[in-house]
Amino acid sequence: MIAVAGGKGGSGKTTTTLGLARALSRRGAPVVAADADWDLPNLARLAAETGPEPTPVGAGRRADGGDVRTVLDGVRGTNPVRPDRSAPTVLAAPDAPRSVDAGATFDALDGATPGGAPVLLDSPAGASPDVAAPLRAANGALIVTPLRRAALRDAAKTAAIARRLDCPPVGAVAIGETGVPDRIEPLLGCPVLGAIPDGGAAPLSDPAVRNAYDGLASRLAETAAASGWQIA
């Protein structure tokens, strides 16, 4: 289980969670992407707005009128998580998140997903106290950041928090860039696994962005955190 974390809101972590999940799916992996940012849940909505098929929108209803599958559904077995290899399984936030134990839910999600299925958690911003629950549950963190000075400072803090919670950063992703200066890896204390170019208003529809996420998926699959993943 990988927590996709960023220093502050707007760093690109939700887009990266979905873009990376789709890239892993293109490699034949049965991927699960779960919304762990329960105060600002938008992973399922982004999936619906950018996907070719009707997918979950927000918490409550699907774009085609059906019920949303939430993280809680998967953990409780109400709607078991059975990811296939054609597209990522996207799990929305619970309908009433403040009544749910987030830490216990993310811990249980790992056991509720089939062995070998990559699980990505779209985590809250690094400055939020809610980020602790997904970081404690995950095996490693993927740090997502633009290369602006303030964003890098916050990303370094997020990486430090992850280490303190026994969720070592497995790598970093630079957003809105085609290359990364050498000084970034020492600053964050982890390798830079990819740079995602600016795709404009609809980045997941941009071929260059898609190719960059494919490269990120390939490099992430080579890390120790991805050992045991079922990837073709």
Would you list the DSSP string of 9-50? TTSSHHHHHHHHHHHHHHTT---EEEE---SS--HHHHHHHH
Rounded distance, CA 151 to CA 175, Å? 11
**pLDDT score of 138:** 96
Neighbours of 128 (CB within 10 A): 14
Structural fold of domain 2-226: Rossmann fold (3.40.50)
List the domain boundaries for the chain: 2-226
- What proportion of the chain, given as a percentage, has pLDDT over 90? 75
Strands 140-146 and 56-57: what pairing? unpaired
Average pLDDT (13-24) is 97
In the chain, what's the furthest Cα-to-Cα distance? 49
pLDDT tens track for 197-230: 999 999 999 999 999 999 999 999 999 888 889 8
Rounded distance, CA 74 to CA 81, Å? 5
Q: Tell me the HSE value of 123 on the side-chain side, using a 13 A CA sphere.
A: 36
pTM tops 0.85: yes
